[in-house]
Amino acid sequence: AQSVTQLDSQVPVFEEAPVELRCNYSSSVSVYLFWYVQYPNQGLQLLLKYLSGSTLVKGINGFEAEFNKSQTSFHLRKPSVHISDTAEYFCAVIPTDSWGKLQFGAGTQVVVTP
Amino acid sequence: ETGVTQSPTHLIKTRGQQVTLRCSSQSGHNTVSWYQQALGQGPQFIFQYYREEENGRGNFPPRFSGLQFPNYSSELNVNALELDDSALYLCASSLAGTGSNYGYTFGSGTRLTVV
């Protein structure tokens, strides 16, 4: 069985400041890792994913994440946020031995203020 | 790319009724998954269809059922609606098999309210 824990339910941040969203997972098998963003009243948009290779993954809109296997973490970062980054962010995993079911964390609400 | 479209966008139903939600997959995608997202929570996997066959199911009762059609559009049916079924229902399509990179494309969802 797998579980995904997003350590912060809400992260307030000032515009142009850096932000880090924390994600930890537990799994008995290797996993693929994902970060999605959800803007109000919309579906999910993929920010980035880790399948294999370099543990530092760059995504869209200036986001990046680092996979740390020993700490079972996949934290998301952005060096300078914009008002438009205000949204809900979800970390998710797919076990490598599965047929592709995404398992999501509870989400982190990012609120960017001027 | 045509993206994933879902209909309707909003729906209000009475407890005990039945509902059908529809999803049109992204062109070329052979797999569709459905998720339920309750208010303030992450999406929960309902089931997945690959080439018109269900190939995975989450912890949802049998009154949640689905269909996938040859053109890769799909339906989610929920019978005997309960108040707790109120949620945003998301459809996601992907290409499974050789060449899959787990590139799920999500629709904007159907907001179901059960009263």
Query: Do the Cβ atoms of A107 and B96 come within 8 Å?
Result: no
Residue linked to tokens 């039945």: B18
The whole-angstrom distance between B90's CA and the closest CA on chain A is 7
User: C-alpha angle with apex B108: A109 to B85, nearest 5 degrees?
Assistant: 80
Helix (H, G, I), strand (E, B) or coil at B15: coil
Q: How confident is the model over B32-52, as a mean pLDDT? A: 93
Cβ within 8 Å, pair B42-A107: yes
Q: Report yes or no: A27 at the B interface, CB cutoff 8 Å.
A: no
User: DSSP assignment, residue B1?
Assistant: -
Given B43, B56, B101, which is nearest A99 (Cβ)?
Answer: B56
Across the range A97-113, mean pLDDT stands at: 90
In which band, very low, low, confident or very high, does the pLDDT at B22 lie, cut at 50, 70 and 90?
A: very high
Q: Are A54 and B104 in contact (CB under 8 A)?
A: no
Q: pLDDT exceeding 70 applies to what percent of chain B?
A: 94
User: Is some CB atom of chain B closer than 8 A to the CB atom of A7?
Assistant: no
For the record, the structure tokens of A65 come out as 């994440």
Which of A102, A103, A104 should one mutate to test binding to chain B, selecting the residue with the greatest count of B CBs within 10 A? A102
Neighbours of B13 (CB within 10 A): 16
Q: What are the pLDDT digits (tens) for A76-88? A: 999 999 999 999 9
Q: What is the residue-wise DSSP string for B77-108?
A: EE-S--GGG-EEEEEEEE--STT-----EE--
User: Does residue B98 have a pLDDT over 70?
Assistant: no
